[in-house]
Structure 1
């Protein structure tokens, strides 16, 4: 019996997973990264799904993405009479955070009264809601529901989930979703149509310095679920686009990194309003200063690996 498709699997680290830019890799395969041990940044897995059996060139190209797997033989297996897209959704059980329900095609579930359901499949962008950072941000937004935000931005939007949640909570607000990766913006656009979410402005942008972003500011709600390093480096530019006393939600940082992130934002005049720890991860809610930060904004390179919603 012939194989309908093939799967190649190698171990990887979280850093390697987040560095993969699926839109810029010339590999005839769909790449999927998965956290295999919860909150262990060293225990991730890369799966490459292809219609043809991986040849030496494809194996070498995939190996180059995960240097930590050097010396480990890839597992290559045929997928006979199997829907590998559905397989990739296995294990992603529906989650509920406040009024939000997030599920995949593989695990459909009906929303309860008062819930807003989002269908978010795993794919070429991060942010299905199943990681503690993204689910923590959903819970944080749910607690902010009574606030009157009018101009929100989701930096590093990934799948668009947090932007969709903001649109649901504040239907009259302007909501912008940005990502440095054009693939993520395409995924967000597709997810918006799938979930009947409209009115979100989509921008391919490097951080918060893009003229389109600054021209639409200041923002009274800023969401950034990325990584501790970029959050620290971007503190001045995020503070610069914040309206007086704006709410800033930061995630993607380990609990051990929380103090360094807080210190970076205190230096711009922000204050810490709330810090929630989920496992090894911390979600921060900050309040911006009365006046927008006007200090120097560093020109930090290497952002192509930053804008990854977890």
Structure 2
């Protein structure tokens, strides 16, 4: 072996369910860029996890990666030094461009032209979830594309991650005021960087815990609300999301498994919302609901520490 070691790769087998859970997680607190790959087409058990590390992984990193893929059992991880490579670029080398309606999403390694009359967004793998390659994010793009003929004035993307869905909303409704929020300040920094890379200007960016923020409330009501997070937070946040929605607003929800659909829908129906559309993608489901005809008012003040015992993971 010649050359200087610049990064390391750890590889473990996994299942599709484990891969999707990894892709959907926002912050796994592992010092690595994670990439999951289908090794055998349509085989739910034959997937692979690759973790790209800037430094040689220690026992703690290995243990954390093992915890993500219990199906690997006692399989020894493959730990490889990588020579003179950009470890982030390598981690996204397998992320082929995607197309959803008017949108295309690509990494630096795989540029792609915009669809006719649409937009191509450059979203590289990094600290925040939402590159467009996970079924939930891609499904949200398709759901937004399906709303293109409607008119919206106030849009909010709760748990924006990379900013991709906020960028798509601003493209579809250029005169709308678009707000992007996240509980993680690092995600807002990533969104700022991605906005600059894609020539997106004018977004309102807010670090906030869910929808409970004076800055968010002061701009309500919103006639389009997007929340691509996880089922638990969606259920617990239903009253606060409904409370900032305009009467008849469109609400796009994702990050939930099909098995969790009924619970999420029930939580929003309890706040006066009505299910209008469902897009199922494998085990994942994207929902579109319509807010009630009258502005929803919670029956009691909402305590962010008491959201049914759920810890937010936007």
Q: TM-score, normalised by structure 2?
A: 0.85
Unaligned runs of 5+ in 1: none
Taking the aligned partners of 1:95 and 1:66, their CA distance within structure 2 comes to: 26
Does the Cα contact within 8 Å between 2:105 and 2:132 map onto a contact in 1? yes
**1:6 alignment counterpart:** 8
The aligned runs of 1:258-277 (5 Å cut-off) are: 258-277=261-280
**2:33 alignment counterpart:** 31
Structure 1 residue 21 corresponds to structure 2 residue 21? no
Taking the aligned partners of 2:200 and 2:43, their CA distance within structure 1 comes to: 31
Does the Cα contact within 8 Å between 2:103 and 2:115 map onto a contact in 1? no
**2:204 alignment counterpart:** 201
**2:51 alignment counterpart:** 47
Does the Cα contact within 8 Å between 2:25 and 2:129 map onto a contact in 1? no
**1:290 alignment counterpart:** 293
Note the C-alpha offset of 1:74. Answer: 3.4
**1:138 alignment counterpart:** 141
**Cα distance change, pair 233–40 in 1 and its aligned pair in 2 (3 A):** farther
Structure 1 residue 181 corresponds to structure 2 residue 189? no
Q: Could you tell me which of 237, 240, 245 is aligned with 2:243?
A: 240
Q: Which structure ranks higher in relative contact order (CA pairs < 8 Å, sequence separation ≥ 6)?
A: 1
**2:160 alignment counterpart:** 157
The aligned runs of 1:74-85 (5 Å cut-off) are: 74-85=77-88
Note the C-alpha offset of 1:11. Answer: 5.8
Note the C-alpha offset of 1:73. Answer: 3.7
**Cα distance change, pair 186–36 in 1 and its aligned pair in 2 (3 A):** farther
Does the Cα contact within 8 Å between 2:236 and 2:310 map onto a contact in 1? no
Taking the aligned partners of 2:47 and 2:101, their CA distance within structure 1 comes to: 29
Note the C-alpha offset of 1:54. Answer: 3.0
Note the C-alpha offset of 1:8. Answer: 3.0
Note the C-alpha offset of 1:130. Answer: 1.1
The aligned runs of 1:101-140 (5 Å cut-off) are: 101-140=104-143
**Cα distance change, pair 137–143 in 1 and its aligned pair in 2 (3 A):** same
Taking the aligned partners of 2:150 and 2:264, their CA distance within structure 1 comes to: 25
Note the C-alpha offset of 1:274. Answer: 1.1
Unaligned runs of 5+ in 2: none
- Secondary structure at 1:4 match in 2: strand
- Secondary structure at 1:303 match in 2: coil
**1:303 alignment counterpart:** 311
Note the C-alpha offset of 1:303. Answer: 3.1
**Cα distance change, pair 113–129 in 1 and its aligned pair in 2 (3 A):** same
Taking the aligned partners of 2:284 and 2:43, their CA distance within structure 1 comes to: 8
Note the C-alpha offset of 1:147. Answer: 1.1
- Secondary structure at 1:282 match in 2: strand
Taking the aligned partners of 1:262 and 1:55, their CA distance within structure 2 comes to: 43
- Secondary structure at 2:95 match in 1: coil
Note the C-alpha offset of 1:181. Answer: 1.2
- Secondary structure at 2:174 match in 1: coil
Q: TM-score, normalised by structure 1?
A: 0.86
Does the Cα contact within 8 Å between 1:154 and 1:176 map onto a contact in 2? yes
